[in-house]
Amino acid sequence: MRIFAPAKVNLHLAVGSAADDGYHEVTTVLQALAFGDTVTITPGTAFGFACTPDLGLKPEDNLACRAAKAMAAAFDRSLDVAIALDKRVPSGAGLGGGSADAAAVILGLAKLWGIEESDAALAKVARGLGADVPFFLMGGAALYRGRGDVLERILEPLQASLVVVKPAEPVPTGQAYAAFDLLGSSAPPEPDALISALGSGDLREVGRNLYNNLTPASVGLVPAIGGALRLVWESHGVVGAALAGSGSAVFGICRRPADARACAEESRRAGLWAVATRAHHAGCVVETTA
């Protein structure tokens, strides 16, 4: 069984002050991408987990492996499967690759074990693994609040080409939030204008209303993010650009696929990782089964 695990970007990310427990209130609009990883599950064998390329993690530290064990515990099943993860989404980028991989494992095992995708236990397993994981079971575009894990509203997905560009240096999420707390922030706007633009399909208004108040903190940690943002903003056909999550990847919304490809090529010539892609209207998808 092969499952596609999409990356994501935050069209809106408004982080609030830290609560007493250290967690931040978050309002975010997530959008899935047609670029991502692939998870392959082979049943009928002793449990095994492999990741290509090797990320230097022990299997038990990989979120996809943890998802498999959480599913086995939740449904009292034996893990007689081999899981292979083909990584294309860079780590430390803010693109949600690890969360998407975990969701792909949840979806794949559910299908293998005859569990309905609507089973509430799947969402419970996903929430236990991370704030973004439930989104990837659904995908498209959605508004979340709470700690970024409370679904408020499913939105009209973006219909556009995008370019994603990443400097070499990653941004550890914890460091980004710690830097954000030190810098402070004014009250962030609500995403109403962005949501309205998504509903009407007004690409220029979507670009105009992109928002991420983690940007100053992340640029302070990795100054190259600022250069990547400028490069994308100044590229032909880009109607809006923003930081992806806590970074270090940035993204641009483009008028045409050719504009996304041209920006990606220019970024690679500048020594940056880059990919041209498009918005994805679903979450993780089982692509093939034996």
Active-site amino acid positions: 8, 132
Whole-number Å distance between alpha carbons of 165 and 84: 26
Spatial CB neighbours of 58, under 8 Å, sequence gap ≥ 6 = none
Chain centroid, CA 249 distance in Å: 11
Copy the structure tokens of residue 177.
């939030």
Copy the structure tokens of residue 232.
């994308």
Give the residue carrying structure tokens 């992806």. 244
Neighbours of 248 (CB within 10 A): 29
3-state secondary structure of 35: strand
Copy the structure tokens of residue 164.
């994603």
Neighbours of 186 (CB within 10 A): 6
Nearest to 244, CA basis, from 165, 191, 168, 182: 165
Whole-number Å distance between alpha carbons of 175 and 260: 30
Name the burial class of residue 49, with classes exposed (0-12), middle (13-18) and buried (19+) by CB atoms within 10 angstroms of its CB.
buried
- With contact defined as beta carbons under 8 Å apart, do 218 and 173 qualify? no
